[in-house]
Amino acid sequence: MHKCTHACAPTPCPARAQVSRFDGHADYVRAGAVSPANAETWATGGYDHVCKLWDTRDPKGGAVMDLDHGAPVEDLAFFPSGGGRAAR
């Protein structure tokens, strides 16, 4: 998932330049969400059956948590409080 997109970037990126990269899924990423409580916390889900939680402040650049969903992840969302998330 690239941080630089029209939907998620707080400011426009010149020429859609890549500003960071998050590698980790073994198949296509189908869903992504930004925590309403903290813009540096992201969640992604994909056809590899995994939901990943990312913290863009982590200098290692990897997911800070992986959850086996048991099926392809088609959609996910954070609760309004930012304290949890749901996947479908």
Please write the tens of the pLDDT for every residue from 32-74.
999 998 889 999 999 999 999 999 888 887 889 999 999 999 9
Length of the chain equals 88
Residue 46: C-alpha distances to residues 11, 57, 72, 73 (Å): 26, 22, 6, 5
Structure tokens given for 7? 């939907």
pLDDT at 1 over 60: no
Output the pTM of the full model.
0.72
In this structure, the number of other CB atoms found within 10 A of the CB of residue 42 comes to 21
Average per-residue pLDDT for the chain: 80
Greatest Cα pair distance, the chain, in angstroms, is 38
Q: What pLDDT is stored for residue 2 in this prediction?
A: 40
- 54 with 22: CB under 8 angstroms? yes
